[in-house]
Structure formats: C-alpha cells, structure tokens
Structure 1
Amino acid sequence: MKYVLALAAASLLAFAACSDDGSTNPATDTASPTDTTAPDTTEADTEGGDATSPEDTTATCEHPCLNAFGKNDKSLCPSPQSDWNCVEGCCELKFRCADDDDCRALGYDEGQCTDERFDCRCTVTTGVCYAFYCAADADCESGEICAAGSCQVPPAATGLTPRILNRPTALTTGATMTLATDLVDPTNADVAVAATGLTFTSDHDDVAAVSAEGVVTGGSAQGTATITAATAGGQTATWTVRNVLPATDGFTAVIADEVTAEAAAGKYAILDHTGGAVLVEDVIPTDGVIRYENPTAAALDLHVYATDHDWISWLGADAHATLYLPLARTLNSKVELDMAGDVVAEGTTLEGAGIVRGMPDMADYLREGSLEIGLTSFALSSALFDFNLKVLLGSDVKRFLDPNHHIPQVDGSSPLTVPGGIVFNLAGPAVPSFVLTAGEGHHRMWTLSGRLDITEIGEYSATIVNAVTGGDLDFTQIVGAVFPLFRNFWSGFVADVDVTATGPGSAETTVDPKLRMPLGLEQSLDVPPLPELGGLGYADALFILGGALTVDGFLVPLGLNGGADTSNKEQNPPDGIADANEHTPEKDPFMLPLAPLYGGLQGPHSSYLTALVAVAIKGSGDPRPDSGSGILVRSEPGHGPAAAPTLPAFLGFPLTSAWSSETRVATVGAQAGADVQRVLFKGKTGRHWTIWLNGATSVTVPTPPEGVDDRATTNIESVLVNCLDLADGEDMAAIAAPGGTTLDNLLGHVSRISFVDVKSPIVLPEQ
C-alpha cells in the first residue's frame, strides 16, 4: 500500500513533467458533481484568450470588453465584474439563480448542476446552483422518501416485497430475537420503506414461535424453524433460525459458524476459573452445543479449539450461564500472478478462500483525468476493532504492472506486492484490476474509485516527493497527501457477491462494480488530540471511513479521508494534533465526503457509521509498538449522518501489558474508559485465537490438546491487547447470550476501541 500510493502520486508528477507537449494542463473537468460553476471550455471565455475580430463583436455589444490588444478583458465589464463573463469581446451576465425553480429550469443548461438524477437547488446568497442530495426521508417533503440521494414519491405498497435483515442465529429456550423488516421495490433496489401490515408465521412453533410484532422466541424443542413474513398481497420473505436446548442445571455454550449459525467442529476445555483445574476436555458435540451439568465451581473458563474456525476463550463465565459464541472461518490466502495476469500455483495459497477479480465500471462516472485509482473490498465487521490495511483493502498480491503501462522510469519486468483491492491506471492500464480473496458464501462488495487530473496533486507534490525520495517511505505523509483527493470519487456497491468455489485451482468469481453514486454528502469532523504512546510518540496516521451500518453488523464504506499529525516533521514537529489544513493558524476540521445510501443499503433500520482510526505505522528504528485507537459514531436508524458530530477522546493504550511465550502468561494493564479487554493472537496463516478476559488482568494461556497446533506460539504475526468501550446501555453478559445483540453484531454497539501489539516487550522511556 505504501508503495502503490507513493507510486501513484510520484508517477503522476512525472507524467505531468514528461508529456509530449511539455504542458501540465489537466483534462477538462466538464461534469464534476462537485463543481459549482459552469466549466470554462471556450478559449474566448477567458480574461486573456483570443477573441473573434473586433468588427464581429463591437457593433452588437452593449458592453464591449476587448482591450487595446484585441484580447478579452473582463475588467472592462460593468461593476461588479464577478457578475460578468467576457465572451468573444462582449460582456455577458453570468447566470444567477434567485430560487430553486431557476436552478431546476436552467441550472443544468448553465452547467452548475451536472447530474440530472439529483435536484438542482439555489444558494440564494451567492446565486449559484448546486446538486442536492438527501441522506434520509426527513430531508424530503411530506409523502416522499429518500432513495439513492434523491427525493421520490414511493410506489404503492401493493407492489413491494418484504425483506428480513437479520443474520442467521441460534436461540435457546426462552431467548428472543426481534426481526428487522422493511418493504422493497423488486424493480428498484434503491427503494425501501417501513414495513406495515406484515403477518408472521413459524413452521415449527415448538422450535421457535413468532409474535405478531416479529419477535421470535426459542421453544422447548431442538431443531430448525422457518419464519415467514407475508404482506396482505401474498409477497413473502423467510428467515431460518436454529433452536438448541440448554443444560438442565448448568453451563451451556453454543459454538456456531458466524455466517450460517451451523455447528462448528473441534475440541474444547472447561476450567475452574479460580483454581485453574481442568474440569472437562472433550470434542465439541455434533450439534455444536457444549453442556456442563451440575457444576461445582462458581465461575468457569471455556476454551474452544475449533478445527476450521477461529479459536475463542471466555473467562469467568457464570457456571449456569448460556453463551452464544459465533466463530469466523479460517481464511488463509496469498496470491501471485504472472505477467499475463494468470495465477501462479506455486506462489498462491487458497485455504478456505476463492479469488474474486474485476475492475470498477466507470461508464457513468463524469470526471476526466489521467490517473484512475480504485479501492475495492468487502464489507467490514468486528475486524475494524484491530484495524489494519489488509482489513480495508484485502490481502497482498504479488503481480506485475501491465506491460503497456505509461508510468515513466518504472521497470515493469519485476513484480511488485500491492493490496489486492487496488486499481491504478495512468493514461492507460498499470494495475488494471483488483484481485481479492473471500471465503465461501455471500459477500457485500464496495468500491471507491475515480479519476484525478495532474493539477489536483500539485499542492501535495513536495510532500509526496519528500516521502518517495527519503529512502524509508513515511506512510503518514502519503495518507495525508493522497486520501483527501478522493473527495471527487464515486461509490459502487454490489449487494451479493456469491463465492462458490474455494481452494487451490478453484474457479474465479468475476465482478465489475459499477460506479453509481457521487460522494455528495459531507460530514465535518473536529478530530480530538491523537492518542499518545507513553512518551514514544503518537498514533499519528489518521484514517477516516464512513458508510452504511447494516442491521447484521457490517460497515459498507461509502467515503473516506485521511490525514496525519504532521505533513513535515522538520517544519512542524509531531504534537498529537491532526489538522486538516496546516497552512492556517486555526485548527481545521476534516471533511468526510459520503455517498447517500443506495442499492439496498437504505431503509428505516439503516444507519450511517463513521470510524476515525489513528494508527502508529512503524518506520525504521521506530520505538513505537504497532497500535491504533478508533472512534465510532453512528446515526440513529433511518436518519442521515450528523453534520458535525461531537467526538469523544480517543481511547488510550494499556502500555504496561505484556506477553511471555515462555511462561504463557498475558498481563493486561488497566485502561480508563475500557469496558471490555481481550487478547488476540493473530496468526500469519489466518489462524487466530481471541481470549475474552471479562475483568481478568492476567491469563495463563492453556496448552491446546495433543495433536492441535498451538495458536499462541506457532506462526504468530502479532499479540494484541484490544480494549472496547461499549455504547451506553450495552452489557457484555447480555451480548454473549443467545438472542438480541450478539458477538457477531458488535460493530453497532461499540463507541471506542484501541489495540497495541505486545508480541515484543514495550520499552517505555524512563520518567
């Protein structure tokens, strides 16, 4: 990622310097959705351009504007000159709107609005038209809904079909889940309205019954039930739920796949939380339900060693508790491509994964420019809690530049390693397609892509050149320089990418997400002081993501920005202050551009989520541990994003935490504001282990059963101490139980996070 962003920026500069005619003029932007004035495409419509000969114009001009040299000169027009253009020697009044009707009638013809999907409205104080994007129904007139940024009259309810938005889950006797439903237009995925008049039924009431309000309750029988929601017109949607029976008098844990809620396989151990004695060690039952009857200990530690899933440990559980522990599947992928773009089998690993390849479809995108950049990946869930670039942009891919690339002074005969979600083209193909990997099943795909012209990067050139030529790339400078340029990108979204083939040699899935939606909304973010790392520096690279928070707990990015503590450490030493514009004396907020919800993301249950993540990305000789801290801000369901939300402070780091692979003891320091702490063992081959501490300040990590690789010591990439600040009113014991909010839906219920790598000891400076 460092290399590609730097390469993109530096090569654009080189391309500007090396163009055939020596010019650095950009391609004309004739239709940017963010433009507020008509594009200047006529040479005569300039202050100094050549005009038609004077005799062609002076006789018919009320206000001539040719100067003594026969050039257009707007200074000869009446005052105020800002109201005039000088066109072919004649002063012409600029179009100025007085109300919205003026813009709807003339704003598109005048070029002040360019995309006729969106209403053209008037800024009366300036007389300039602008494109209006709604974010929610409240932005529209009575009787209208907001659909893909445009206010529309909804279709008749008789033509709509119901939708159940909850992810699959497992209940136990008496546990409940409230279904989130809406009505959608089967011919237009952008239209979703509140569901009224639905009738709910269950095909097995003894397994799971459903109330008239859509509340599903686990019954007295174990099995699977199908819940049906039906409209008066007979349109239906179904949802399947498992119900399992808990222990008669004791401890129960449901171990399930987080995607399907089906049973996960493997082994487990139950220990006395106080004394550490092993009470049970066995194979997970085929139904995935661990039952421990008549416990003698008051509190238990459960360790689950799943075969094809992440491992999980839950410490200090009440001996009569019932837990629902959904597990992510093991996913280990590495892709290598040859010069023709074909997979190199010897350099490729696909364990539980398949390849998804494609390129953003820019057919409808309105901007021109020499440089195309695309960022594409899949929706994020709780992986955001230990953010890294692979989470955002996919695993690295070893590949070659296109042999016909136009990047000056770059040798394409050697492969480079780039995140799989990157597309990068400069006046022709360079990295023309994304190459992602995903597990079997259904995935939501997003892309943020667009074009930049040469002059847009001009003000950042010094920063980029310094970063590229300094030997050791300073990624914080690259983020601050390049990410703000994405404001003119568009969003693309594919609601269902179905990966059916996984493993070595499996067939690839091809998807070309279409760019549909301008980033027409905007959020102002006054970023609080960046978190400090105990005198070692700050988490100084800032990533800002915004998008749709789905009912089932995923973030679909619809906009991004980024920045840094400082763009020049020599002139402006790091001080923990992230300023969007270092050239002004005051501290400026960061502006986050966002696409309106569309393509099935919108609806009465949908929210906007903004994530600000400050990370320490280590350079050569950097004493800081890999670390990050994040703030999560959500809108109310069915509402747009707050224009300028009040942000809490970043959550700090428990820097006294430590891990010893020799003693197998993890010690976790206290952290003010953290409701929950956990230890994450992140494996290089996708084999992870999460230990939920639940108030414990240290844990002796158990040795796994014989014949099972030790995920605490084998092929370890990092050992993270992860702190979570739950949203107000949330309770971890309730989250771990079946029904309601569960661990696989945690993204919508956490306000702040932090993580720090303790694989190597943290050495703090002496006080």
Structure 2
Amino acid sequence: MSRSLRPFLLSALVCVLGMLAGCGDGFDSNPGIPVEPKPKPGACAVDQDCPDPALFFCNTAQSRCEPACRTRADCGSSRRNEYALLMCDTPMGCECDMNRCVAALCSADADCEVDEVCRDGACVAPPASVLAASCQVTPDVVIGRPGTSVVFSVWVRDAAGRPVVPRDGIAWEARAPMVKGGGSGARVALSLGEPGVDREAVTVRVGSAVCSANVTVLSPEVPAGGIRVLVVDELTGRSLPLTTVAISNEKGEVLDTALTGLDGAAWVPASGTVGVTAFHPDFGYLTLARHDVEEGRDLRLALRRNPLDLSGGLQVDFVEPRVATPPPSTTQSRLRLGLTGLSVPGLFSEVSTETLLGFEREVEVDAGGTRRLSLPSGTALWVEGAVAPRASAPGVAGVCDLSLSGVLEPELSIAMGACGTRSAWAVTGGLPVEELPLNAFDLGMDPLLLLGRLLVLSPDFHSAVVRDASFRLVPTPGLVEGAPRPDAVTYPENVSLDFEGVRLAFPFAVRVPALPRYRGAYLDRAYVLSTVAAPGRGLVPLGLGAAANVAPADPNTDADSRLGQPGVMSVRMAPAHHGLEGQPYRLLMGASSRAARDDASAGVATSLVVADLAGPLFDPSGEHPVQTSSGFLPIPEDVRYNFDGAVEAQELGPRELRGEVEGPATLIRVVFTNRLGRRWTVLVSPDDLGDGVRVPRAPMGTEDRTFFGDHQGSRSLLRTEVLQVTGRDSRDGLGPSRLASADGPGLDHVGDLTRAASSLDVGRPEVAWLYPELEGQRLSRGSAVRVRVTGFRLGTSAGADGRVRIVVRGDAKGCEEVLVSDTATSPTSGEVELRLPASCSGLGVSLIASLEDPEGRLLRPAVSALRGVDIP
C-alpha cells in the first residue's frame, strides 16, 4: 500500500498529451457558438481574412472565423450590429471569456429574475413540487441525547429518478416527542427531545412524496463512577454493537473494558484522566487520549469502516454530444478527455489512496498509431469519432435503498458495508494538443499542476454530475491472503455522464496564503479545488486551479502568466448543477512538497486551507481575488513515536507519542496503518502531545494495528495530521474532548468544521537488498554490497534517524568487522553501498542489513533484511 496520497493521480492525462503531441490538429474550441453569423464569414487563414478582426478571430485548426471579443460589450448586439450573436440576445447575455463570446451562466437563484430559479446554470421557471415522486432525508438515522441540534436535509427525485430542486412546497414535521420543531425548505435544524425510539420521528413532505428519519434519543442520565460511550458508523449514523470500549491509564495500561449493546452504547467504569478507545474489527480503531472524565461523562465516537476490506464503485460512460460532420478541411484527429470520480465524504485523508481517481491500468489509444498508456481507471482518453472507453470510479460504503439492484434488505446491506450512494462527477473537454504548454514539462511533469493550468486557459471544459449514484461493494479479493486487490473487482452498476454538461464558466482568482516549509524548503506545488458540499454525499469537485512555487521558491506561488501577481492563482469552475443547487460552495487550497520524490528518506508533506465561497465569480482578470482568513498550518515534522512496548528509546517511554506543533492547531490525529489498510487513529490535543501520551495496548484477542501485521512484527505506517477545527464562531477552537462530547458538534462532522489541516506521512523505515540480488548468490572477496533505505534519514546529526549496518553471520572467516554507513550514495533512491572486508569468506553465510539509531542501538522492532550468499 502506498504511503502517499498520490499527488500524481492524473499522471496519465498529461504524460499522454505530451506523447500524442504530434497526433493531429486541435479541436473546435467553440462548439457552443453559432457558425453562421450574419453575414456568414468565409474560410480564413489569418484574422485579417475575417469580416472584422476586432469582432472575429481565425480558428486556424478549423480554418474558419469565430466570434471574438476584448470586453463583454463586444458580445452585445449594439457593438456587433449585423454580426450579432443570437445566444447573447438573452437576459443573461454573454461574457467575454479568453477573448471569446460565450453564453453567461447563473450560479444561484439570486442571479435570475424574481419568478425564476437557477438550474444547471440557466434561469428557468421553478420546478413544481408536484414533480416530486420520491425523497430521501439525510441523515436518515440519528442517535443522540436530549437537546442536541441536528440539521436535516432532503434530496428529491422525480418519477424517472432524476434530481429535482423545488423552491417551495417542502414542509418538515416532528411526529414524535423525540424531536422538537419543524420548518420548511431543503434544510432544517431540529432539536432532540424525550428519550425513546421512533422510525418516523421526523418527516418531510414534498408534493406527494413523503420520507422520514429514524431517531433514537438516549437517556440523559449517566450512572456515576464511569462514562457512557456511544459508538456509531461515521458515514451512516448507525450504531455499532459489539464494539469493545477500553479505558486506559496514562501508562497505556487497560483498566477496564465493555461491549456496546444494540444501541451502540456502553457504560465503563472510569475516573480521572483516561484514554478511551473503541475497537471494532471492521472499522478503524479510535483513541481519545487524556480525556478528563469530570469534564465529560457522555461521549460519542464515530468510526470509519476499514477502507480495503470491501471494494466497489461505478462504471462510467461518457455520452458524446451530437455534432454535425465537420467540413472536409477540418477532418483531423481530435483528442477527448473524461476525468471522473465519486464524491468524498468527511476528511480527504480518511479515503484510501486508490479511492480518489481509481487504479492504474494499461489502455490502448489509436492516435497516429496505437499506443499503450498507463491511466488511472477514472480517466478516459480517446480520439473523436471513436467509442469513448468506460472509466470506473471507486467509492466508499454508505447508505442505499431498494432502488439499487440486488438490494433486498437495505438496512442489512448498510450494516454490512455492502452498498453506498455518492455523487458521480466528471470534468470533460476537448484538448487542442498543438496548443499544450510543452515547456511546462520542465517542471517535473507534475500532471495536477498542468491540468490546473489547462483548465483555466480554456472555456471549453465542462462539468457533469449524477447526484444520486448507488453502487454495491464486495469483499476485496486477496484480503484473506494478506494482499488485497481492490483493482480486481468488477463494478456491475454504471452511470452515464454527459461529455459536455455544464461549462466551467467562472474563471476567477484566489489569493493563496503563505506556503509553509518542509525540511527547510517551501512547499513547491499549490492547487485550489472548487467543490460543492452535498449532505450525505460529500464534496463534489466542480473545478480546479494550480500553480508552482519554483521561481523563486518563497512563501508565494509563482506569478500567473495572465494575472502577473505572485501568490495569486487562477481557478475555473462550474456552478452547482444537476440537483446540487442551493448547497454550499467550498474551496480547498492545498500545497504539497515533492521532497519525497527527490529524497527516499522524506515523507509526503501536505497542507490544506478550507474556505467557504459565497458563489462562483466571473473575474478572469483577477481584480477581486478570493481571500481566506485562515493560513496554512506548519508541517508536523517534530512528532515521534516509540513503537517498542517494553523499553525507552530516544527519550520516549514505551508506546509513547510526543511532539511539538506550531500554529493555531486544535486537534492532532496520529494514524497508524497496517498492511491491510486497517487504521488506528489517536486523537490528542496539541498541549497533551507536547507532554507525551501513551498509546494503549490492544486488549487480548484484538489486533494491534500499530504493527504492520507481517511475520516480522514490524512497525506500521505512520501519518500525523494537525487540524484547526472551529465552531460557528471561528474563534471557538474545538479540541478532541469537545468534539467527542455527546452534546458537542460530533467527530463525524470534523470534515465540515476543519478550517486548515497539515499532514506528514512518514510511512515506515525499510531496508532492502539491491546487491547481491539473489538468495545464495556467489560473491568475490571484497565485493561491494548495496542496500536501499527508505523512510529513514541517514546521519547522526540533529534531525537524523540513524545509520545502516551490515554484519556477516554464519561459518565465515575474517568477517568480524561491522560495516556502517550514515550517508546514501543516491539520496533519491536511498541507495547505500558498503564494501566487504577482503579477508571475509565463507559458504552459506548470511548478510544482515539493519537500521540503528544515532546512538548505535538497533531499532525496535527491528528493521532488517537478510541475504544468504557464498564467498569462496
């Protein structure tokens, strides 16, 4: 399993473009503009061949004149006169986008007339509530205590299953004493009332459609002498019975345990300051470190299902628009791109690396000759005129209903993690290969960077969404054998996405906060992902922007070629559409370091800022860049953990976690991951992390996920995340105990409440043999041997992890010398070379390469590699 969040997921997209740079001419870059203005312009070779070079430009790829502009006024009929454009003769009019007249889109109802609403980017009459044939409340299951406020939302569909977003006619009702309040609209906040259970405690009526939510309210009374812990599934809200809840002391010793009942709750004796851990084999473990029982005796822990235990998703078909056959002079190869995925619920870091855009696979593209290319399964690339290949989008488990084929008992499927419902999304477009900025490959062929630049330079990319996309999940092949293969799963469900859906019609600028450093160097890549937050579905991408930080490498991103301001980035996005209208927009500003690519000892460093966006802007010149009040958090480089449970190491006690973090962090998440992708997350406050906390020992019969799970008993992968989590008031910082409190905002809402996050994925230290290559290989005396060391910083100075040593064991002579190196001959690969003594010889001897700390003590658990050789 990769320890990186794969910032190179789009590698196929850009690498392919470079390979196909000679495959043909560009695309029709203005498919939506009429080709018959009055009078009709003729063929052209240069702009001067057009009727008026101020109003037209020559599309040399198509050899035809197309409407041009410098300002919005150039698109109006008063300026164009006999060359007026019908699409611009509407209330919305046209915008001048990249010197082309394109129809303007709305992004909210406020952009339209009083009697209209904005749907799919156009102002239309409000859909009548009588169109509603079915609906779904989210959350559909709620468990809490009296007084807790819960925000309910409703998704509406028509008789054909298409999304409907009515403006009026939505009425909420509390039908049981467990809930108080009512209201109207697509979203309502209600309070939990009296203890009890009711399957229809909350109902909503939209036209003739009625749907409800199941509500369980626990007693507010918690017996003295202990704490009550409620454990739920983070993504479904369902209770998790038979979860082991363990109470540990400050030394990590387990004091008491209890199993949750059918309602997901357990009472456990506890007093003073304790650690509270929930263990469930099908879910990630969760530890709340150093919780003061007197400050909260009623807790709610939300667990996330193991990401690689079950696999599933959707096959995606791209539906091409019907276009007329181009003139004979323009019949040239054209490249089409579709990039797709499923919405991401909660924190991005909780999703496995393979779930973002799919798994790498080889495909053939017939363009100027057949080429075999490696593409993520969420990417489709084909030549216009050919059949668009299918893409696939992996997803994570959630909820479903009887509308999903093969589901007979929805609650059983949900409890097993065998189904999910997300929003399928895609970014599509035609790519003019000859116009690609090929010099951008000099920056290291970073595909995410290049895609972000391509999007903002063209008005011809589109967004497509299927809001309610359900799928099934099955046990992952190879899991029992210890080598899960989620890429081997075939997805039976499929969705169709329009190749040309809603245009990414809103170019604007974002002022990127000062970039943080990792290992003394500023992060060198930044991106902005524009999304819409869909309740119960997750974040749905609607656009992208990207920039480098190399010229110079300083706190600001490099100046955009169009905007000319360091630290200001161009972004292009579509409005919320296809049933997502009315949901909040959100910007994710991310920064990353390529240090892990250049240094085998480096970890994967990323930082993220989250900003609410009132709505998309049309601001191509960047006169009013979007700004955020939050800044990037520093990379958590100074966080250490002693994996040994018996002895002290490097001033850390057994199983002790300690570190210093800077900035306005409120929550630290330390995540251990074993070889099956199963996690153990420890939540701790910044102050407690500075003092040091002990990770509790796993109870008898429970897998200890701080270890990798191999036969060597080696350490697991390790990632540290630093988060700034706030309440409605941005000054109200939320720490782990407040988030876990039964009357608090909830750990299942951390993704919505996070304003900034920073992480360092250090993986785990490993050593592997390069030479000798084979077991039993024959070596000459005095041979040089080579090993590869990764995830381990060689050296003895401050900040270094230690050295590599090689010893010879067995029936050998003259081999008593211990070979030690604290320097890699190749930092990029982590290759280390040492030379055996000329006097060393023996048959059937063993070469043992191990890692040691700066004081010369072997790491515990041991990190070593064995190779048997003959040295005659």
**TM-score, normalising length from structure 2?**
0.68
**Partner SS for 1:591:** strand
Name 1:192's counterpart in structure 2: 165
Contact 2:74 2:80 in 1 (8 A): no
Name 1:255's counterpart in structure 2: 231
- Is 1:421 matched with 2:378? yes
Name 1:591's counterpart in structure 2: 570
Match of 1:484 among 431, 436, 453: 453
Match of 2:752 among 748, 755, 759: 748
- Is 1:201 matched with 2:200? no
Match of 1:705 among 696, 699, 702: 699
Name 1:447's counterpart in structure 2: 426
Name 1:653's counterpart in structure 2: 635
**Partner SS for 1:575:** coil
Moved more, 301-310 or 613-622: 613-622
Show the 5 A alignment for 1:168-317.
Answer: 168-181=140-153, 186=158, 192-193=165-166, 198-202=171-175, 204-205=176-177, 208-213=178-183, 216-231=190-205, 235-245=209-219, 247-249=222-224, 250-274=226-250, 276-292=252-268, 295=270, 297-317=271-291
Q: For each residue in 1:512-553, what CA deviation from the matched residue of structure 2 results, as whole angstroms up to 9, or x when unmatched?
A: 323421111233112223211141x23222232111112347
Contact 1:540 1:564 in 2 (8 A): yes
Name 2:504's counterpart in structure 1: 519
Contact 2:274 2:292 in 1 (8 A): yes
Q: For each residue in 1:188-217, what CA deviation from the matched residue of structure 2 results, as whole angstroms up to 9, or x when unmatched?
A: 966535556725132x43xx2332346544
Aligned-partner Cα distance in 1 for 2:257–2:514: 48
- Specify which structure has the bigger relative contact order, considering alpha-carbon pairs within 8 angstroms and separated by 6 or more residues: 1
Aligned-partner Cα distance in 2 for 1:232–1:380: 27
Match of 2:465 among 481, 488, 493: 493
Moved more, 547-556 or 669-678: 547-556
Moved more, 644-653 or 181-190: 181-190
Structure 1 gap ranges (5+) = 49-71, 333-350, 468-473, 567-571
- Is 1:461 matched with 2:470? no
Aligned-partner Cα distance in 2 for 1:578–1:3: 19
Aligned-partner Cα distance in 1 for 2:313–2:695: 35
Q: CA deviation at 1:364?
A: 6.4
Structure 2 gap ranges (5+) = 1-5, 60-64, 327-331, 398-418, 478-488, 619-623, 645-653, 710-714, 765-790, 800-872
Match of 2:336 among 367, 372, 375: 372
Contact 1:257 1:329 in 2 (8 A): yes
Contact 1:679 1:722 in 2 (8 A): yes
Q: For each residue in 1:701-724, what CA deviation from the matched residue of structure 2 results, as whole angstroms up to 9, or x when unmatched?
A: 222123332211125763111111
Instruction: Give, as a single letter, the amino acid of the residue that structure 2 aligns with 1:558.
Output: L
Instruction: Give, as a single letter, the amino acid of the residue that structure 2 aligns with 1:28.
Output: D
Name 1:718's counterpart in structure 2: 717
**Partner SS for 1:513:** strand
- Is 1:359 matched with 2:317? yes
**Partner SS for 2:340:** strand
Show the 5 A alignment for 1:492-571.
Answer: 492-503=464-475, 504=477, 508-515=492-499, 516-535=501-520, 537-552=521-536, 554-566=538-550
Moved more, 722-731 or 166-175: 166-175
The count of residues paired between Structure 1 and Structure 2 equals: 679
Q: CA deviation at 1:652?
A: 0.7
Name 2:656's counterpart in structure 1: 665
**Partner SS for 1:649:** coil
Shift in CA distance, 106/392, structure 1 to aligned 2, threshold 3 Å: farther
Shift in CA distance, 625/447, structure 1 to aligned 2, threshold 3 Å: same
Name 1:616's counterpart in structure 2: 593
Instruction: Give, as a single letter, the amino acid of the residue that structure 2 aligns with 1:632.
Output: V
Aligned-partner Cα distance in 2 for 1:596–1:278: 52
Instruction: Give, as a single letter, the amino acid of the residue that structure 1 aligns with 2:734.
Output: D
Match of 2:609 among 611, 631, 649: 631
- Is 1:121 matched with 2:97? no
Shift in CA distance, 453/98, structure 1 to aligned 2, threshold 3 Å: closer
Shift in CA distance, 655/102, structure 1 to aligned 2, threshold 3 Å: closer
Shift in CA distance, 481/175, structure 1 to aligned 2, threshold 3 Å: same
Q: For each residue in 1:333-359, what CA deviation from the matched residue of structure 2 results, as whole angstroms up to 9, or x when unmatched?
A: xxxxxxxxxxxxxxxxxx322253223
Shift in CA distance, 640/520, structure 1 to aligned 2, threshold 3 Å: closer
Instruction: Give, as a single letter, the amino acid of the residue that structure 1 aligns with 2:700.
Output: E
Q: CA deviation at 1:179?
A: 3.7
Taking only aligned residues, the RMSD between alpha carbons, in angstroms, comes to: 4.4
Moved more, 134-143 or 240-249: 240-249
**TM-score, normalising length from structure 1?**
0.76
Contact 1:104 1:119 in 2 (8 A): no
Shift in CA distance, 171/42, structure 1 to aligned 2, threshold 3 Å: same
Aligned-partner Cα distance in 2 for 1:330–1:108: 63
Aligned-partner Cα distance in 2 for 1:197–1:356: 31
Contact 1:97 1:103 in 2 (8 A): no
Moved more, 248-257 or 580-589: 580-589
Aligned-partner Cα distance in 2 for 1:586–1:100: 26
Name 1:569's counterpart in structure 2: none
**Partner SS for 1:28:** coil
**Partner SS for 1:667:** strand
Q: CA deviation at 1:146?
A: 1.8
Name 2:553's counterpart in structure 1: 574
Name 2:345's counterpart in structure 1: 381
Shift in CA distance, 683/82, structure 1 to aligned 2, threshold 3 Å: same
**Partner SS for 1:263:** coil
Q: CA deviation at 1:154?
A: 1.7
Shift in CA distance, 136/180, structure 1 to aligned 2, threshold 3 Å: farther
Contact 2:552 2:558 in 1 (8 A): no
Shift in CA distance, 197/110, structure 1 to aligned 2, threshold 3 Å: same
Contact 2:259 2:266 in 1 (8 A): no
Contact 2:146 2:217 in 1 (8 A): no
Q: CA deviation at 1:156?
A: 4.8
Match of 1:143 among 110, 115, 132: 115
Moved more, 424-433 or 94-103: 94-103
Aligned-partner Cα distance in 1 for 2:27–2:362: 28
Aligned-partner Cα distance in 1 for 2:560–2:80: 32
Name 2:3's counterpart in structure 1: none
Aligned-partner Cα distance in 1 for 2:56–2:120: 36
- Is 1:433 matched with 2:390? yes
Instruction: Give, as a single letter, the amino acid of the residue that structure 2 aligns with 1:645.
Output: V
Of all paired residues, the percent bearing the same amino acid is 19
Contact 1:140 1:151 in 2 (8 A): yes
Instruction: Give, as a single letter, the amino acid of the residue that structure 2 aligns with 1:688.
Output: R
Aligned-partner Cα distance in 1 for 2:562–2:103: 29
Aligned-partner Cα distance in 1 for 2:58–2:613: 47
Shift in CA distance, 730/406, structure 1 to aligned 2, threshold 3 Å: same
Moved more, 351-360 or 157-166: 157-166
Shift in CA distance, 123/492, structure 1 to aligned 2, threshold 3 Å: closer
Match of 2:688 among 676, 692, 696: 696
Q: CA deviation at 1:680?
A: 1.2
Aligned-partner Cα distance in 2 for 1:120–1:108: 19
Contact 1:354 1:499 in 2 (8 A): yes
Shift in CA distance, 7/422, structure 1 to aligned 2, threshold 3 Å: closer
